[in-house]
A and B are shown apart, each in its own frame.
Chain A
Amino acid sequence: MISPGTLLNQEWYGSPQGREVLATLLHKSQQRRKTFGLLEKPMIGVHCPTDEVKYKVFLVGKSGVGKTSTVAKISGNAVPTAHSETPGIQTTTVYWAGQVKQLNKVIMFSLQFWDAGESATKKYDHILPACVAQTDCIIFLFSFVDRSSFEDVSQLITKMTTPKDTTCKIVIGTKFDQHAHSEITQRDIRDFEQNWKIPILKIRNVPDTEGRNHTNETSQILCVLCEHLWHRDIIMAGRSPSTDDLKDKQNFV
Chain B
Amino acid sequence: MISVVVVFFYYIFSRRITIEPTCIVQTKIKTFLILKLILQLPFPVIGSLNGVHMFGSSHGVSLQSTTTDDAKIVWKVFHESITLIAVSQDDDADDCHMNNLLNLIASALVLLCGIDEVSNIKNVERFKKEVKVCMQLVDRILESPETSGFSQLTNAVDIICAPENAILQNFLDAFAEAAESGFGCLFVERKVCVATKKWWSMSANELVLLNLLLTSLTPCSSRDIPVFLPDTQPAIPHRLMTFELTRNIEVCVICGPSPSLAELEPEVVRFWKPAYDSLRTVGRLSPRNFPTNIALDHNLLGFLLVNKETNRCLHSVNPSLEDPSHLGETLSIHQRKEVLKTFYKKMVGNFFASSVSGSEMGPAEFSHQPMESYITTETHKCYTLQSGPYQIFTLYTDSIPTYAMRSVTQRTLSYLTKDKNVSV
Chain A residues proximal to chain B, CB less than 8 Å: 35, 37-40, 68, 71-72, 75, 77-78, 80-93, 112, 115, 117, 119-120, 123-124, 126-127, 130, 133-134
Per DSSP, chain A at the interface is loop
The tally of residues in B whose CB lies under 8 Å from a CB in A reads 40
Distance in angstroms between the alpha carbons of A68 and B136 in the assembled complex:
13
* B133→A126 contact, CB < 8 A: no
Distance in angstroms between the alpha carbons of A111 and B219 in the assembled complex:
16
* A38→B245 contact, CB < 8 A: yes
By a CB distance below 8 angstroms, the chain A residues around B221 are 37-38, 91-93, 112
* A84→B245 contact, CB < 8 A: no
Considering only residues 104-130 of chain B, those with a C-beta below 8 Å from chain A are 112, 129-130
6 pairs of residues in contact across A and B, judged by CB atoms under 8 Å: A38-B269, A84-B135, A84-B139, A90-B222, A92-B221, A130-B260
* B245→A123 contact, CB < 8 A: no
* B226→A87 contact, CB < 8 A: yes
* B226→A91 contact, CB < 8 A: no
By a CB distance below 8 angstroms, the chain B residues around A81 are 18
In the complex formed, the residue of B with least CB distance to A76 is B219
* B245→A88 contact, CB < 8 A: no
* A68→B218 contact, CB < 8 A: yes
Q: Which of B133, B246, B261 lies in contact with A89, CB distance below 8 A?
A: B261
Nearest CB of chain B from residue A44's CB, rounded to whole Å: 18
Given contacts A71-B220, A83-B20, A85-B132, contact A39 B246 (CB under 8 A): yes
Q: Which of A84, A112, A134 lies in contact with B132, CB distance below 8 A?
A: A84
Q: Which of A39, A85, A127, A133 lies in contact with B272, CB distance below 8 A?
A: A39
Which 4 A/B pairs are nearest by Cβ-Cβ distance? Answer: A88-B225, A37-B246, A85-B132, A84-B135
Distance in angstroms between the alpha carbons of A37 and B268 in the assembled complex:
11
* B133→A87 contact, CB < 8 A: yes
Nearest CB of chain B from residue A26's CB, rounded to whole Å: 16
Chain A CB within 8 A of B398 CB: no
By a CB distance below 8 angstroms, the chain A residues around B239 are 88, 126
Considering only residues 372-410 of chain B, those with a C-beta below 8 Å from chain A are none
* B130→A88 contact, CB < 8 A: no
Given contacts A38-B221, A82-B20, A124-B237, contact A119 B244 (CB under 8 A): no
Given contacts A38-B268, A124-B226, contact A90 B217 (CB under 8 A): yes
* A88→B224 contact, CB < 8 A: yes
* B219→A77 contact, CB < 8 A: yes
Chain A CB within 8 A of B265 CB: yes
* A87→B262 contact, CB < 8 A: no
For B238-250 the 0/1 string (1 means CB < 8 A from A) is 0110011111010
By a CB distance below 8 angstroms, the chain B residues around A88 are 223-226, 239-240
Q: Which of A39, A78, A120 lies in contact with B276, CB distance below 8 A?
A: A39
* A119→B245 contact, CB < 8 A: no
Chain B residues proximal to chain A, CB less than 8 Å: 18, 20, 112, 129-130, 132-133, 135-136, 139, 217-226, 237, 239-240, 243-247, 249, 257, 260-262, 265, 268-269, 272-273, 276, 279
Q: Which of A72, A127, A130 lies in contact with B218, CB distance below 8 A?
A: A72
Given contacts A38-B269, A119-B130, A119-B133, contact A91 B223 (CB under 8 A): yes
By a CB distance below 8 angstroms, the chain A residues around B135 are 82-85
* A77→B129 contact, CB < 8 A: no
Distance in angstroms between the alpha carbons of A123 and B132 in the assembled complex:
14
Q: Which of A72, A84, A89, A134 lies in contact with B224, CB distance below 8 A?
A: A89
Distance in angstroms between the alpha carbons of A38 and B270 in the assembled complex:
10
* B249→A37 contact, CB < 8 A: yes
In the complex formed, the residue of A with least CB distance to B257 is A126
Nearest CB of chain A from residue B127's CB, rounded to whole Å: 11
By a CB distance below 8 angstroms, the chain A residues around B245 are 37-39
By a CB distance below 8 angstroms, the chain A residues around B132 are 83-85, 119
Distance in angstroms between the alpha carbons of A112 and B244 in the assembled complex:
13
* B265→A38 contact, CB < 8 A: yes
Distance in angstroms between the alpha carbons of A87 and B241 in the assembled complex:
12
Distance in angstroms between the alpha carbons of A31 and B279 in the assembled complex:
27
Distance in angstroms between the alpha carbons of A124 and B237 in the assembled complex:
9
By a CB distance below 8 angstroms, the chain B residues around A123 are 226
By a CB distance below 8 angstroms, the chain A residues around B272 are 38-39
Distance in angstroms between the alpha carbons of A75 and B129 in the assembled complex:
27
Distance in angstroms between the alpha carbons of A23 and B257 in the assembled complex:
41
Given contacts A38-B268, A39-B272, contact A90 B20 (CB under 8 A): no
Distance in angstroms between the alpha carbons of A75 and B220 in the assembled complex:
9
* B223→A117 contact, CB < 8 A: no
